[in-house]
Amino acid sequence: MKKRIWIALAVALALFAGSPRASAQVTPAQGYSPPDDTPSVKIGGSLFLDYTFQDEPETRDANGNLVHGNAFNVGRAYLNLTGQLHHLLGFRVTPDITRETGSGSSLSGSYTFRLKYAYAQVNLDDWLPKATWVRFGLQPTPYTDFEEGVYRYRFQGNVFVEREGFLPTSDAGATAHVAFPADFGDLHLGVYNGEGYQKSDPNDQKAFQVRATLRPVPRVPIAKGLRLTGFWDADHYVRDAKRERTIGAVTFEHPYLNAGFAYIDAKDRPTVADREVHAKGWSVFATPRTPIGLEVLFRHDHLEPDADANDSEKTRTIAGVAWWFALHPGVTAAVLADHEQVRYDDFSPARATEKRWALHLLLSY
């Protein structure tokens, strides 16, 4: 494990170390305009709002009545503080909300703020393809951030691998991102605590994550939106107790359709005394789009949470109609009405099927 950390750090250092050398090699062309190094800080944010009506299962209220739970909710309230301190050095600080549910807190029930992202980024654009950088701090993990960018419906709910608890979206670590020349894809690898942004690191184990994405035909108009992705997360709960995820994905982006398929294979062994649990699953989504902002969302997830030990299966189906408002670049607003069904087969104890109707709203700027 230590060896992997050193490899990751060595890659990061190599990229760093290349910077001054590369810098020394710069021979300004005639009429060269130096990059703008004036510090700038911007404020942005994202809001996810919803009204959700639970059709099934009904629940019992304090008087014992069977009721359909329904509520207005805030799913996300990012405050994004991003800055460019030099053309080589950027940063981001993003608090997000979460509902405090602990009975020992006087804030129980409130949406409290906690840190989601806080990182420094050294840009290597001067010497490597644009969007090549090194990051240090609490930052997006390589896979979920990538898939969410294609999926675009995070405001309906997490992508499959996050929703089922396999990967967090943010974690503390050191990572490097290399964009391949001529838009042929990218590589993102890093070493993280492995616990996610909402937990502290309990021991000496670190997660090594790497995502490689290839865009086979970046010059072919229709096919340039096609990308093939492989992701590997090697971690341990404690020494010799594996936590490993392997993901293979195919995604496609086009003005009239975004679509994706992801397959995950996960191994979990919380302590050395536990048996290793092997989970398998896949998710497929398609979002047909129109030029007037009207879109549709279809998604189906299939999970075998303990594939080697039993036949339990969890399936999730989402269908919705959305309207994306035509606003200025950098501003995004959308409304989505959707239905979600979650079914549990052969679970022990048995679990009730869930059916929900919801109206979701996204604002991002």
Partner 1 sequence: MHSRVLAFFAAGLFATAAAIAQITPAEGYTPPNDDPSVKVGGTIFLDYTFQQEPEARDAGGNLIHPNAFNVGRAYINITGQLHHLVAFRITPDVTRETGSGSSLAGSYTYRLKYAYAQFNMDDWLPHGTWLRFGMQQTPYIDFHEGIYRYRFQGQIFVEREGFLVSSDLGLSGRLAFPSNYGDFHLGVYNGEGYNRSEANDQKAFQARLTLRPAPAVPVLRGLRLTGFWDGDHYVRDAKKERFIGALTFEHPFVNAGVDYIDAKDQTLLTAAKIEAKGWSAWVTPRTPIGIEGLFRYDELKPDDRNDSKKKRTIAGLAYWFTVFKPGVTTALLGDYEYLKYDDFTPARPTEKRYALHMLVNF
Q: Which residues bind partner 1 (CB under 8 A)?
A: 43-45, 47, 49, 51, 53, 59, 61-63, 65, 67-74, 77, 79, 95, 97, 99-113, 325, 327-328, 330-331, 333, 359, 361, 363, 365
- Smallest separation, CB 306 to partner 1 (Å): 31
**Based on CB atoms, which residue is closest to partner 1, 160 or 197?**
197
Distance, in Å, from the CA atom of 130 to the CA atom of 146, rounded to the nearest integer, reads 17
- Smallest separation, CB 45 to partner 1 (Å): 6
Instruction: Give buried/exposed letters for 189-215 (b at 16+ CB in 10 A, else e).
Output: bbbbbbbbbeeeeeeebbbbbbbbbeb
- Is residue 68 within 8 A of residue 55, CB to CB? The reply is yes
**Based on CB atoms, which residue is closest to partner 1, 44 or 248?**
44
Alpha helix positions (H), the chain: 2-25, 142-151, 160-163
Give, in order, the Cα–Cα distances in Å from 95 to each of 112, 152, 257: 10, 21, 32
Query: What radius of gyration, in Å, describes the C-alpha atoms of the chain?
Result: 22
**Based on CB atoms, which residue is closest to partner 1, 54 or 175?**
54
- Smallest separation, CB 46 to partner 1 (Å): 9
Residue whose C-alpha is closest to residue 320's, from 73, 76, 151, 146:
151
**Based on CB atoms, which residue is closest to partner 1, 59 or 203?**
59
Distance, in Å, from the CA atom of 185 to the CA atom of 206, rounded to the nearest integer, reads 26
Q: Which residue has the tokens 């093939």?
A: 228
Count how many Cα atoms sit within 13 Å of the Cα of residue 202 in the half-sphere of its side chain. Answer: 10
Alpha helix positions (H), 155-261: 160-163
**Based on CB atoms, which residue is closest to partner 1, 14 or 321?**
321
- Smallest separation, CB 43 to partner 1 (Å): 6
Give, in order, the Cα–Cα distances in Å from 242 to each of 203, 208, 231, 233: 14, 12, 17, 11
**Based on CB atoms, which residue is closest to partner 1, 105 or 310?**
105
- Smallest separation, CB 335 to partner 1 (Å): 9
**Based on CB atoms, which residue is closest to partner 1, 102 or 221?**
102
* Beta strand extents in the chain (DSSP E only): 40-56, 59-60, 66-67, 70-86, 89-99, 111-123, 133-140, 170-179, 185-192, 207-214, 226-238, 241-254, 257-268, 277-288, 294-304, 313-324, 332-345, 354-364
- Smallest separation, CB 333 to partner 1 (Å): 6
**Based on CB atoms, which residue is closest to partner 1, 40 or 110?**
110
Q: What's the CA dihedral at 183, 259, 98, 365 to 10 degrees?
A: 60
- Smallest separation, CB 105 to partner 1 (Å): 4
Pairing type for strands 226-238 and 354-364 reads unpaired
AA letter at 42: K
**Based on CB atoms, which residue is closest to partner 1, 68 or 280?**
68
**Based on CB atoms, which residue is closest to partner 1, 51 or 252?**
51
Distance, in Å, from the CA atom of 334 to the CA atom of 210, rounded to the nearest integer, reads 32
- Smallest separation, CB 98 to partner 1 (Å): 10
